[in-house]
Amino acid sequence: MRLAAGQFRELTQEDLAFARQIGCSGVTVNKPDLDSPAWVAFLNRQFTAKAGPRAPTRRWSALDLIQLRSAVEAHGLVLDCIEGVPANRLDKAMLGLPGAEEQIADFQATLRAMGQAGIPVLGYNWIPDGVWRTAKAAHGRGGALVTAYDDAIGQRVATGTLPPRSEAEMWANWERFIAAVLPVAEEAGVRLSLHPDDPPVPVLDGVARIFRSEESFARAMAHADSPMHGIAFCTGTFAESGADSMMRALRRFARAGRIHYVHLRSVAGELPRFAEAFVDEGTVDPVAVLRVLLDAGFDGFVIDDHVPHLVDDTVWGHRGRAHATGYIAGILRALRA
Ligand SMILES: [Mn+2]
């Protein structure tokens, strides 16, 4: 088990140095925009061959990803994982809309390119409208800014932007997707890791949220039963339904060897109302989580996740992430001793 720094959208030399400085061995990037001026500027600082602007791509090429990987490795780090595909284009596949086949073909192409570039894990989720919160700047400990969710408010929101979808429809769309992409992942040697729906409520905005419980993950793991298909185990999201059920799911899937990596964060409260919290408070016991993973012989990586926003913090959350990663590293050292 090792620690990674997480969720970079656009890498900077300073971010990569920071990841090393706080003791991480690897990084994950989240829906990187490899067409952005910032990334082009990064490449032009990192490499002598100049990169130019280009039109947005639907598929990352092997060259894109080799550049990404070598930029990370130049800082003494491993590129452990990418979360999401270009511009997060998977919504039509999730909803079964026209264009789904094209998105699945793009996803397959990205998997093949990742295999060629030697990037071992692709994290994905099955929530077409993403993570929902009803407050983005609630006050946590000491006034740190945290996100919060209240289902009484969430259930009253209807954006009207998505077609209604039942559980059966969302499962059928997922089964079509995984049947198309898992053989490609196996051939490419890239592991697909499913993140739970956040918040894990049965339905939001008219669309069923199917990956919200231990039972739903057991069904998904049995249906797509391959070492190349596993779980991005988010302790925070699972604990939004209760910390005890999170620990049950953790023990089950860790023992089964189906956890590829872990988002280690905590929450205060549970549905129907919760707020995000520092990793050293709230309902998630990070000592118990790491002990289960060590006992199960877990050999993936652990990253922090959304972290509270501290005084004078950056958008990415350098201060919050330094606190979370240092805290997790301390527990690991103590457990190993
Ligand atoms: Mn997460």
Calculate how far, in angstroms, residue 125's C-alpha sits from the geometric centre of ligand 1.
10
Domains and CATH numbers, the chain: 2-336 (3.20.20.150)
Which pLDDT band, with edges at 50, 70 and 90, does 20 fall under?
very high
Spatial separation of the C-alpha atoms in residues 101 and 176, rounded to whole Å = 10
CA distance 207 to 154: 13
Q: What is the pLDDT of residues 144-165, one digit of tens each?
A: 999 999 999 999 988 888 999 9
Q: How far is the CA of 283 from the centre of ligand 1 (A)?
A: 15
Beta bridge partners of residue 231, listed in sequence order: 194, 259
Q: What DSSP character marks residue 36?
A: S
Query: pTM to 2 decimals?
Result: 0.96
Alpha-helix runs per DSSP H in 130-166: 151-154
What's the 131 CA to ligand 1 centre distance in angstroms?
A: 9
For 72-131, what is each residue's pLDDT tens digit? 999 999 999 999 998 889 999 999 999 999 999 999 999 999 999 999 999 999 999 889
Contact between 193 and 127 under an 8 Å Cβ cutoff? The reply is no
Distance 49 CA to ligand 1 centre (A): 36
